[in-house]
Amino acid sequence: MNFAGRKVLVLGLGDTGLSMAKWLARQGASVRVADTRAAPPRLAELKRSLPSVPASCGPFREEMFADIELVAISPGVPLAEPAVRRALNAGMEIAGDIELFAQALRERRAQIIAVTGTNGKSTVAALAGAMARAAGVDCEVAGNIGPAVLDALMRREDAGRAASLWVLEVSSFQLETTTSLAADAAAVLNITEDHLDRYRGIDDYARAKSRVFSGDGMQVLNRDDPRSLAMALRGRRTRTFGFDAPRRAEDWGLLERGGESWLAQGANALLAVREMKLAGLHNAANALAALALCRALALPLAPLVGALREFKGLPHRVELIGEGDGVRWYDDSKGTNVGSTVAALAGLAQGDTRLVLIAGGDGKGQDFSPLRSAIERSARALVLIGRDAPLIEAAVSGAGVPIRRAASMDQAVALAAQAAFPGDAVLLSPACASFDMFRDYRHRGEVFRLAVERVIDAPKH
């Protein structure tokens, strides 16, 4: 699309909003920016890099949209925002960064893998990127995982080095405003309750996720997740993955051979789960999804498996951060919804291992009741922090484990250390957003890490 001379309003001035402003200005558009916050996080950078672009801070006003031809909307700005709704009703064109990227990539010969789902999408995107690079492909991993896709595209343009493959992590918020993304292979990993403060219900949320399957590329679906599996489209090529043995030769799953579990395609066992550096059984599912996506593009299998064997995972995603007095400490601060925490508990509670769970924060309107059975099966104790600690306690009461409240992460870690026995693991997997106590999930994870280091290093009496 030719943006030269078009009047564009960018809504939101975080990383994504700034990337859209820069990209559109580079295309010759007449750009304005608006953000409801008094001090948007990237305002200083906008003024430095695009000093001629006007920015408005404060509530969106109707006059901001006068004579605008395109609204470029950040994923954090809901389509239900009244000013945005009026623009939609007036027939104004609205697009997000993934849509702008998709339109730009039409003119470039590159393949696309797109990954979405409630949980695991960052790990799968990063792993697929590592696999593709091991197979000799010039690959760029971008999107919700960071960097923003348009930042990555501009950096590639400036270097004069086009990517052969883009691996994109895309959120439901980004997919709401995406119509042109025709990925060569795309996956919906799973669907569990999340962002219900923004969606009418889980079906509405799932519909947003299903938009990743526009076009005619390969669909990668989770056999163990009914909502993912139900997204299979008539006439489309599909590959499935799951914890059971694959029934079709082209599908992916786990085989039991010689008393241990193996990642497999069809009847072909590829790698013993114990050989993976990724912690937790749930990461076996992530590995199968990444393999399915890469093989959908006919990448050679041997380097994919080799890359998987060496992949250590991402920070704050069931990351082993320390061990002391026989207790292992895991940071899963990125576990911001109930489904993610349930998966982390199930993945780590293998054999005789019992877990002390630290959870709590901003629950985003979720139903916490699925935590109860997971805690009953896997946990020795539960330590709660944050605003919605009372809601979690009410939902899981009767699970048969002691529940303690903590006013800070330091206190939570101290209480967890007291509750844990040698051979146990302590898991920070909050099932909640972080913004009631921390800047973001990364900040929460770093505060946890520092508290754990103090406990491990404390003099023993």
Q: Is the dihedral of CA 370, 374, 377, 381 positive or negative?
A: negative
pLDDT averaged per 10 residues, the chain (length 461) = 94 98 98 97 97 97 95 97 95 98 90 97 98 99 97 98 98 97 98 88 96 98 98 98 98 96 98 94 96 99 98 94 96 96 92 94 95 97 98 96 98 98 97 96 98 91 59
Q: Is 42 within a domain?
A: yes
Q: Is 120 within a domain?
A: yes
Query: Same domain, yes or no, for 121 and 47?
Result: no
Q: What is the pLDDT of residue 461?
A: 59
Q: What is the pLDDT of residue 195?
A: 85
Q: Which of 119, 144, 222, 337 is catalytic?
A: 144
Q: Provide the residue range defining the domain that includes 241.
A: 99-310
The residue among 95, 120, 142 that closes a domain is: 95
Q: Is 1 within a domain?
A: no
Task: Pick the closest to residue 237 from 167, 296, 300 (CA basis).
Answer: 296
Single-letter code of the amino acid located at 187: A
Q: Is 295 within a domain?
A: yes
CA distances from 399 to 340, 380, 461 (A): 19, 10, 33
Q: What is the pLDDT of residue 279?
A: 85
Query: Same domain, yes or no, for 244 and 105?
Result: yes
Q: What is the pLDDT of residue 107?
A: 77
Query: Same domain, yes or no, for 32 and 111?
Result: no
Query: Same domain, yes or no, for 293 and 326?
Result: no
Query: Same domain, yes or no, for 165 and 285?
Result: yes
Q: What is the pLDDT of residue 165?
A: 98
> Model's pTM, two decimal places?
0.90
Query: Same domain, yes or no, for 328 and 303?
Result: no
Q: Which of 22, 119, 190, 195 is catalytic?
A: 195
The total number of structural domains in the chain stands at: 3
CATH number of the domain where residue 448 is located:
3.90.190.20
Q: What is the pLDDT of residue 352?
A: 84
Q: Is 334 within a domain?
A: yes
Task: Pick the closest to residue 112 from 307, 291, 296, 304 (CA basis).
Answer: 296
CATH number of the domain where residue 34 is located:
3.40.50.720
The residue among 95, 120, 141 that closes a domain is: 95
Both tokens assigned to 10: 């960018």
Query: Same domain, yes or no, for 265 and 386?
Result: no
Q: Which of 22, 121, 209, 282 is catalytic?
A: 121
Specify whether 282 is catalytic. no
Helix 149-159 with 15-26: angle, nearest 10 deg = 40
CB 5 within 8 A of CB 29: yes
Counting every residue written for the chain, the total comes to: 461
Q: Is 2 within a domain?
A: no
Query: Same domain, yes or no, for 43 and 108?
Result: no
Q: In what order do the strands lie in the sheet with 165-169?
A: 139-143, 165-169, 111-116, 185-188, 218-222, 238-241, 252-257, 260-265, 268-272
Nearest-angstrom CA–CA distance, 246 and 289:
13
Q: Is 113 within a domain?
A: yes
Query: Same domain, yes or no, for 120 and 159?
Result: yes
Query: Same domain, yes or no, for 292 and 332?
Result: no
Query: Same domain, yes or no, for 75 and 110?
Result: no
Specify whether 209 is catalytic. no
CATH number of the domain where residue 156 is located:
3.40.1190.10
Specify whether 121 is catalytic. yes
CB 214 within 8 A of CB 180: yes
The residue among 76, 95, 114 that closes a domain is: 95
Query: Same domain, yes or no, for 103 and 217?
Result: yes
